[in-house]
């Protein structure tokens, strides 16, 4: 979107307060602020009941406003996944920021700048070569690099495998390195995303918790004490009791939730706070289809169309399926029967509940915030890496 168009979009959004959602140009991402607040309050309460620190992840929404809601206004103790997010939040008064991404060597100097500027900026690593990078760049004024060790407890993405001797050796090396502090051990139980139902979610949460706590005991046996943190939205939406023995948890998607989380069992469809508004732009009776003005550039292809309703849930229309998308078009057809085109006149609105809100949100330069269908304003996310 060109700069002038962005300015026009921002100006228009600012002037629409109090109007109905139907006043928006489409495709448009809309956020129900009442649901966001309710989702955030529930997670804060869960963590308080467990007695663990909540460190919410910012990667789903990437906005100041939602960060304020998720931190209860403290602007402290957050997780980010990009340097762009880290700098964005630091520039707007946030502190105690954990950059929870295996340390990229091209960004060491930027990490150093934030470490020297903020009260607490923390990095994450899972390889001895990353530790060597920190050794080569000592921080000024006697400051320490605050480092979390990324542990793989079965998720199979980043992290040193919990059972490998290298994990303990790397933790010891971090703890023994001058100018560096082992702040904590961090595990992401993203394997909860393969679950269906609370029982299976909690089984994975229990396993991740057990493996993390067992590793903490190994550290204690060699004289090392530090924090422990696990997280994912499914595991933190249905925490197990033993998670109370952890220092922190770090879920993120729960502010918005999405169809994927409802399928997993993290939430109900009613908890999902985001929608994409789209309009009917074509009737195709020879194919028994509608065309809509939302393609993958307004929704994403995440989920691969495997829902019974395709790439999204079309709210209020259980017999409609978003069959496929090109960049700017979506093809909608009935799950059964023939379309009654009189119910879907050209220009009429449809509401898509996204499969994965993280992937959908990143497609939009502005989020339109509403309460009970009346526009309140806009949130502008940070972008890039």
Residues 344-372 have pLDDT tens digits of 999 999 999 999 999 999 999 999 999 99
Contact 266, 237 (CB under 8 A): yes
The conformation of residue 307, written as its DSSP 8-state character, comes to: B
Structure tokens at 321: 């399926």
Cis, bond preceding 27 (omega within 30 deg of 0):
yes
Tokens of 246: 């952890």
Nearest in space to 243 (alpha carbons), one of 225, 231, 258? 231
Q: How confident is the model at residue 6 (pLDDT cuts 50, 70, 90)?
A: low
**146: β partners:** 122, 181
Query: Beta partners for 151?
Result: 160
Nearest to 230 by CA among 200, 260, 254, 207: 207
Helix (H) or strand (E) holding 334: strand 330-334
pLDDT of 7 higher than 90:
no
Domain 17-29+269-379 = CATH 2.40.37.20: yes
Which tokens is 1 given? 């979107």
Give the pLDDT confidence score for residue 12 in this predicted structure: 57
Residue 2 pLDDT level (bands cut at 50, 70, 90):
low
Q: In this predicted model, what pLDDT tens digit does every residue of 213-247 receive, in sequence order?
A: 999 999 999 999 999 999 999 999 999 999 999 99
User: What is residue 294's three-state secondary structure?
Assistant: coil
List pLDDT tens digits, range 174-221. 999 999 999 999 999 999 999 999 999 999 999 999 999 999 999 999
Residue 53 reports pLDDT greater than 70: yes
Cα–Cα dist 104/124, whole Å? 10
Report the Cα–Cα distance between both ends of the chain, in Å, rounded: 18
Average pLDDT over residues 313-326: 98
Give the long-range contacts of residues 94-100, CB within 8 A, separation 24 or more.
Answer: 94/67, 95/119, 95/120, 96/120, 96/122, 97/121, 97/122, 98/55, 98/122, 98/123, 98/124, 98/148, 98/186, 98/250, 99/123, 99/124, 100/57, 100/124, 100/148, 100/150, 100/186, 100/188, 100/250
Alpha carbon distance 217, 223 (integer Å): 10
Q: 343 to each of 37, 116, 364, how far by Cα in Å?
A: 34, 60, 28
Q: How far is it, in rounded angstroms, from Cα 83 to Cα 124?
A: 13
Residue of 352, 345, 297, 357 lying closest to 322 (CA atoms):
352
pLDDT for residue 16: 87
Position 154 scores a pLDDT of: 87
Q: What is the C-alpha separation between 33 and 374, in angstroms, rounded?
A: 11
> Which region among 16-20, 125-129, 341-345 has the lowest average model confidence (pLDDT)?
16-20
The pairing of strands 227-231 and 180-188 is parallel
Q: Measured between alpha carbons, how far is 121 from 64 in angstroms, rounded to an integer?
A: 18
Secondary structure letter of residue 44 according to DSSP: H
When the pLDDT of each residue in the chain is averaged and rounded to a whole number, the result is 96
**Position 156 pLDDT exceeds 60:** yes
Of 312, 292, 291, 290, nearest to 301 by C-alpha is 312
In CATH terms, 51-254 corresponds, of 3.20.20.10, 1.10.10.10, 3.30.390.30, 3.40.50.2020, to 3.20.20.10
The SS3 assignment for 372 reads coil
Contact by Cβ (8 Å): 174, 160: no
* Percent of residues, the chain, with pLDDT higher than 70: 96
Whether pLDDT at 8 is above 60: no
Domain boundaries, the chain: 17-29+269-379, 51-254
Distance from C-alpha of 137 to C-alpha of 302, rounded to nearest angstrom? 39
pLDDT value at position 11?
57
């Amino acid at each position: 979107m060109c700069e002038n168009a962005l300015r026009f979009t921002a100006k228009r959004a600012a002037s629409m307060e109090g109007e109905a959602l139907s006043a928006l140009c489409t495709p448009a991402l809309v956020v129900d602020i009442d649901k966001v607040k309710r989702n955030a309050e529930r997670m804060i309460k869960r963590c308080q009941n467990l007695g663990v620190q909540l460190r919410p992840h910012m990667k789903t929404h990437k906005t100041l406003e939602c960060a304020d809601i998720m931190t209860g206004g403290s602007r402290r103790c957050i997780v980010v996944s990009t340097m762009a997010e880290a700098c964005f939040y630091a520039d707007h008064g946030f502190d105690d920021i954990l950059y929870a991404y295996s340390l990229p060597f091209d960004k060491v100097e930027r990490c150093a700048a934030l470490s020297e500027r903020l009260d607490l900026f923390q990095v994450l690593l899972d390889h001895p070569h990353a530790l060597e990078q920190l050794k080569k760049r000592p921080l000024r004024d006697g400051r320490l690099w605050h480092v979390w060790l990324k542990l793989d407890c079965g998720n199979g993405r980043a992290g040193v495998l919990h059972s490998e001797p290298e994990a303990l050796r790397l933790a010891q090396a971090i703890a023994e390195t001058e100018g560096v502090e082992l702040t904590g051990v961090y595990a992401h139980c993203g394997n909860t995303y393969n679950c269906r139902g609370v029982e299976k979610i909690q089984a994975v949460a229990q396993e991740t918790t057990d493996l993390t706590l067992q590793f903490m005991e190994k550290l204690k046996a060699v004289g090392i004490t530090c924090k422990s943190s696990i997280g994912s939205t499914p595991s933190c939406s249905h925490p197990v009791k033993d998670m109370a023995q952890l220092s922190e948890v770090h879920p993120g998607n729960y502010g918005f939730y999405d169809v994927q989380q409802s399928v997993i069992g993290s939430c109900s469809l009613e908890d999902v706070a985001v929608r994409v508004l789209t309009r009917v732009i074509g009737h195709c009776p020879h194919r028994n289809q509608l065309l809509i003005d939302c393609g993958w550039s307004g929704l994403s292809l995440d989920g691969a169309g495997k829902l019974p309703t395709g790439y999204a849930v079309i709210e209020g229309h259980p017999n409609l399926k978003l069959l496929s998308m090109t960049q700017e078009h979506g093809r909608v057809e009935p799950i059964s029967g023939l379309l009654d085109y009189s119910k879907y006149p050209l220009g009429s609105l449809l509401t898509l509940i996204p499969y994965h809100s993280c992937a959908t949100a990143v497609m939009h330069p502005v989020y339109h915030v509403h309460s009970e269908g009346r526009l309140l304003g806009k949130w502008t996310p940070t972008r890039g890496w």
